[in-house]
Amino acid sequence: MADTNIPYSLNSKKVAEATWRLLEERGVHTEEIAELVMVLQKKYYPDLSMEECIENVEAVLSKREVQNAVLTGIQLDILAEQGKLLSPLQELLANDESLYGVDEILAFSIVNVYGSIGFTNYGYIDKLKPGVLERLNDKSEGIVNTFLDDIVGAIAAAASSRIAHRKQEDHEIEEGEPTAPEQE
């Protein structure tokens, strides 16, 4: 039996590591999310490099709110895949029921991390479903990615917003204008 006298404490590093591990285990690599960022941002910043996209995806993934959303969403996908949820949630998730929108609501907590401009990016990438998103939407193999597809799109959208904010700051520094304090 667990000793209930030990105070609850969860190491941040453990949460971060679990996030990275779960994404990898579900077949999503950082580079693939960075490719979505490139799709979203290359028309605005033709010089944008893949390294910058990866760096911004990693910055998004380092935030605890984002980690919490990733852990929650992937856990629900896994339980649905294993048939372990109560009915009717089990059927709703296993069939990616169109009237179930909690996957998108959870993703919004990621989109929000760098402000409201993320919503436009999220809507765009969700319609287009390029690259990894197309694969995550393929329901033929009995794999449930009901939450994961929205989560991945949201991470890319948030990373794009981060880039937009950073580029604006760089521009203001170049112009010698006073800048607002930098975001994490």
Instruction: List interacting residues with Mg ion (CB under 5 A).
Output: 103, 146, 149-150
Q: 146 or 161, CB closer to Mg ion?
A: 146
Listed residue (105, 86, 116, 112) closest to 146, CA to CA:
105
Q: 15 or 130, CB closer to Mg ion?
A: 130
User: Please, which residues have CB within 8 angstroms of residue 55's CB and are 6 or more apart in sequence?
Assistant: none
User: Please, which residues have CB within 8 angstroms of residue 155's CB and are 6 or more apart in sequence?
Assistant: 33, 57, 60, 61, 66, 70, 110
User: Which residue in the shown chain puts its C-beta closest to Mg ion?
Assistant: 103
How far apart CA 24 and CA 151 sit, in angstroms, is 14
Judged by DSSP in three states, 118 sits in: helix
- Are 154 and 111 a contacting pair, CB within 8 Å? yes
How far apart CA 154 and CA 97 sit, in angstroms, is 19
User: Please, which residues have CB within 8 angstroms of residue 12's CB and are 6 or more apart in sequence?
Assistant: 64
